[in-house]
Amino acid sequence: MVAARELLLATNNPGKVREYTRLLAGVGFCLVTPADKRIDVEPAETGQTFADNAVIKAEALAAASGLLTLADDSGLEVDALAGAPGVRSARYAGDGATDADRNELLLKNMRVVPAAQRTARFRCAIAIAGGGQPTRVVEGAVEGVIAAAPRGDGGFGYDPVFCVPELGRTMAELTPEAKNALSHRARATAKAAAILAEINRGG
């Protein structure tokens, strides 16, 4: 039996690794992380868009590993905050801040924003690079509103404060299966999976 080809996920974030393991099941690749391969490369995310940063990470990790590499950049865009935190979602509350710190700051900055103006979206861009392939980028998004307070203990990042209106729940209140049916990462990954399946078929 031929061993599955390795696909490097350009992240060591346990939450992301868990989601990608579910979302890419059946694509035919063996998923590995930089920690698995003892790769310590963290390129500066200097892009102006999520797509820019995904490409920067994918190409840097592909060059360091020699493997086909999948990287994403994702975050929260809040309309009342002119699109912030945007590409700075992970750095919104400063270096070393926790998810709880970022959520607390976001809610503080939204405290006077009325319910009708609390619209937001999660956006995800995925880049696939290396392995003798041209770099390709796909994107996904999901619309929602910012809750008045954190709810739920699932997910990670801004999930506890991002409410999906049609469900009346935050992302953190959803089961992993429910989240993976509608999340920004799931929507982008569905497109990425089609590319990976094509690559796998082509050898």
Question: How do residues 80-130 score in pLDDT, each as one tens digit?
Answer: 999 999 999 999 999 899 999 999 999 999 999 999 999 999 999 999 999
Taking only the tens place, the pLDDT of each residue in 40-73 is 998 988 999 999 999 999 999 999 999 999 999 9
Which residues share a beta bridge with 71? 127
Mean pLDDT, range 17-46, rounded to an integer: 91
**73 annotated to a ligand binding site:** yes
- Residue 69 vs residue 201, higher pLDDT: 69
Domain count, the chain: 1
Sheet of strand 169-170, all strands in order from the earlier edge strand to the far edge: 29-32, 5-9, 68-78, 119-130, 133-146, 162-164, 169-170
We report the CATH number of the domain holding residue 152 as 3.90.950.10
Mean pLDDT, range 171-180, rounded to an integer: 92
Q: Which domain holds residue 193?
A: 5-202
Q: Is the pLDDT of residue 75 over 60?
A: yes
**92 annotated to a ligand binding site:** no
pLDDT band at 200 (very low <50, low <70, confident <90, very high): confident
**53 annotated to a ligand binding site:** no
Q: Is the pLDDT of residue 1 over 50?
A: no
User: Per-residue b/e over 3-33, b at no fewer than 16 CB within 10 Å?
Assistant: eeebbbbbbeeeebbebbeebbeebebebbb
**13 annotated to a ligand binding site:** yes
Taking only the tens place, the pLDDT of each residue in 141-165 is 999 999 999 999 988 899 999 999 9
107-121, 161-175, 189-203: least confidently modelled range: 189-203
**By C-alpha distance, which of 144, 154, 138, 146 is closest to 187?**
138
Kindly report the average pLDDT of the chain as a whole number: 93
**15 annotated to a ligand binding site:** yes
Q: Which residues carry out catalysis?
A: 73
Q: Could you tell me if 184 and 124 are in contact, meaning their C-beta atoms sit under 8 angstroms apart? A: yes
**57 annotated to a ligand binding site:** no
Q: Could you tell me if 74 and 184 are in contact, meaning their C-beta atoms sit under 8 angstroms apart? A: yes
**122 annotated to a ligand binding site:** no
